[in-house]
Amino acid sequence: MCGIVGYVGPQAAVEVVGEGLRRLEYRGYDSAGVALVAKGGVVTEKRAGKLANLTEAISQRSDINDQHTGIGHTRWATHGVPNDRNAHPHVSSNGRVAIIHNGIIENFTRLRAELEADGVELASDTDSECVAHLLERQLDTGGDLADAMRRVCNRLQGAFTLLAVHADAPDTVVGARRNSPLVAGVADGEYFLASDVAAFISHTRSAVELGQDQVVTISPDGLAITDFDGNPAAGKHFEVDWDASAAEKDGHDFFMFKEIAEQPKAVADTLRGRFAGTGEISLDEIRMSDQDFRDIDKVIIVACGTSYHAGMVAKYAIEHWNRLAVEVELASEFRYRDPILDRSTLVIAISQSGETMDTLMAVRHAKEQKARVLAISNTVGSTIPREADAVLYTRAGIEVAVASTKAFLTQLVACYLVGLHLAGVRGIKFADEVAAIVTELAATPDKIATVLSGMQPVRDLAAAMPNADRALFVGRHVGYPVAMEGALKLKELAYMHAEGFAAGELKHGPISLIEDGTPVIVVVPSPRGRSVLHDKVVSNIQEVKARGATVIAIAESGDDIISAHADHTVFLPVVPTLLAPLLTAVPMQVFAAELATAKGLDVDQPRNLAKSVTVE
């Protein structure tokens, strides 16, 4: 979703802002722009498409060079098609105020009508442009840019991060946030504002988290924060614990390949120090007592996309270990169906970014209904963990590729830990039972590494089918959500029609999709688990084979029954049934990434997608 950068300091702002935008590319965008301010006034440049288009346009400009104050934006279109006109920054009628915006201004139709009735001619189709004109009007009534920003913010509904510059304040950038991310960076004599720390990590690791409904001003003199009424407010200082090199590709062609390779470490890091040896799992921040956990009589997991698939796996584990009912719901649907919640409901919100608007709104709805909320997130200090009652952070490190990989595996680990924590606190499992499962979990990083070292056949398979137009993924039990995740990866990366099904559902309709050679990827349950599941999947393979499918099975090492039926079998190390998704998801990721590569597609930034979806 949109990326935002602001800078004041001694360096050339166009360079610092440009580098920040490059580091925010992973969020997904379809146009980009900058506004620079100096004594002579505000200059802007913006272009649809990739950053290279903007860089080329800037290189033709003699008036964009040595300004020391600037803002920059990568836009992911919501209101108005992605073109030069709708790209940010937007400038007020007198050309003296420029703004950039992330989010959606829900009352923009009314604001736009009001401006038009006053004779303002809007130059774009966006909701954002209104803010530039409203700021100009407020500045005309007196006060400085921060005063104007506060007054304007009080009129806006919806979600926004805003940055503004004004020709009369050439050393100042003013920012504001509501329901949308904004963080400040502090260095010696220079200050940064950005959607996330990746934008300024090569300049400083010292960061300040802005609170909800706050306005921030940066200038060479420092950083000042107020609420929307002008009362002084404080941000929360933190040190970023990763560096710029973590955001580089490390020799891989795409970040996604690097992130797939990092999974053993990410899983190990997420497990590290979490288990006290007494059967207790350590959560990072808990604003819930053990009694609160004991009082829980129902769990509802809310999440989107890949995080939702992690939640689906969690349902199997938490129900099995706790004998407690677990519902899993797409966050975007949750609050609109009037779910039944009370203070004995635990809502688990899973979000890599911690900023997904659908999930955030589900969290807020749950809290309004007095439910307890536990967040699982990869982003320390992001909004969802901040608003939750308890937090367990995954430690995947920054995930740059839009398609989630290491975040997914670490979400699974976090879900297992939460399930075990609940089972321990609620007295459903003895400490030694929890310890036995944790020991199995601790062995998974090595097993994931083994899976990764045997991926050449999967790469070869993917490289051989760039012309396939569809693929089906099927599984049973925890293999079912993994099948859905495999299909999502293929859809988002290779732009192929791919569907994930519960294997038992095939014969209720989807089997009619199968033609000669249709690839069907089957996640096979362990024959050592509930043998009925394994037998049923063997039958499902026979059903699709009989209709011409090419079957690629992902099976446990030594499962000779499957290899006799499938066209290709990828064998994985032995792991307990409930933990199997930590391994079975990996060949799916590799398959999708390789297929996208074979098709010559941008693996890290698939079309139309954003890493962090901060609008509903």
Establish if 376 lies at the interface with ligand AGP (CB under 6 A): no
Among 266, 403, 522, 554, binds ligand AGP (CB under 6 A): 403
Find the shortest distance in angstroms from Cβ 482 to ligand AGP.
14
What span, in angstroms and rounded, lies between the C-alpha atoms of 373 and 395?
Answer: 20
What span, in angstroms and rounded, lies between the C-alpha atoms of 29 and 76?
Answer: 4
Establish if 359 lies at the interface with ligand AGP (CB under 6 A): yes
Tell me how many residues contact ligand AGP (CB under 6 A): 15
Nearer to ligand AGP, 304 or 409 (CB): 304
Question: Is 171 strand, coil or helix?
Answer: coil
265 noted as active-site residue: no
Span from 107-115, 239-247, 252-260, 400-408 in contact with ligand AGP (CB under 6 A):
400-408
Among 402, 409, 415, 438, binds ligand AGP (CB under 6 A): 402
The token duo for 31 is 């146009």
- Check 46, 258, 491, 611 and give the catalytic one: 611
Find the shortest distance in angstroms from Cβ 245 to ligand AGP.
23
Exposure string over 326-348, b if 16+ CB within 10 A, otherwise e: bbbbebbebbeeebebeeebbbb
Find the shortest distance in angstroms from Cβ 307 to ligand AGP.
4
What span, in angstroms and rounded, lies between the C-alpha atoms of 522 and 474?
Answer: 5
What span, in angstroms and rounded, lies between the C-alpha atoms of 320 and 500?
Answer: 23
Q: Which of 156, 175, 155 is nearest to 165 (CA)?
A: 175
Among 86, 353, 444, 526, binds ligand AGP (CB under 6 A): 353
Establish if 2 lies at the interface with ligand AGP (CB under 6 A): no
Find the shortest distance in angstroms from Cβ 283 to ligand AGP.
19
The helix (run of H) or strand (run of E) holding residue 498 is: strand 497-502
Task: Tell how strand 519-523 and strand 470-475 pair up.
Answer: parallel
Find the shortest distance in angstroms from Cβ 312 to ligand AGP.
13
Nearer to ligand AGP, 74 or 356 (CB): 356
Before 445, cis peptide (omega within 30)? no
509: phi > 0 → left, psi -120 to 50 → alpha, else beta; which? left
Q: Which of 153, 198, 199 is nearest to 177 (CA)?
A: 153
- Check 2, 130, 304, 415 and give the catalytic one: 2
Nearer to ligand AGP, 54 or 487 (CB): 487
Contact 11, 63 (CB under 8 A): no
What span, in angstroms and rounded, lies between the C-alpha atoms of 334 and 368?
Answer: 13
Nearer to ligand AGP, 179 or 359 (CB): 359
Interacting positions 414-473 with ligand AGP (CB under 6 A): none
Find the shortest distance in angstroms from Cβ 205 to ligand AGP.
23
Establish if 304 lies at the interface with ligand AGP (CB under 6 A): yes
Among 70, 235, 305, 385, binds ligand AGP (CB under 6 A): 305
Question: Which residue is nearest to ligand AGP, using beta carbons?
Answer: 305
Among 307, 383, 577, 614, binds ligand AGP (CB under 6 A): 307
Residues 6+ apart with CB under 8 A from 456: none
C-beta atoms surrounding 80 within 10 Å: 16
Q: Which amino acid is at 421?
A: H
Find the shortest distance in angstroms from Cβ 580 to ligand AGP.
20
Contact 588, 572 (CB under 8 A): no
What span, in angstroms and rounded, lies between the C-alpha atoms of 411 and 177?
Answer: 28
Nearer to ligand AGP, 104 or 551 (CB): 104
Contact 393, 377 (CB under 8 A): yes
2 noted as active-site residue: yes
Find the shortest distance in angstroms from Cβ 357 to ligand AGP.
9
Q: Which of 561, 494, 495 is nearest to 522 (CA)?
A: 561
Span from 138-146, 298-306, 530-538, 561-569 in contact with ligand AGP (CB under 6 A):
298-306
Establish if 351 lies at the interface with ligand AGP (CB under 6 A): yes
Establish if 613 lies at the interface with ligand AGP (CB under 6 A): yes
Catalytic residues: 2, 611
What is the binding site for ligand AGP (CB under 6 A)?
Answer: 304-307, 351-353, 356, 359, 402-404, 492, 612-613
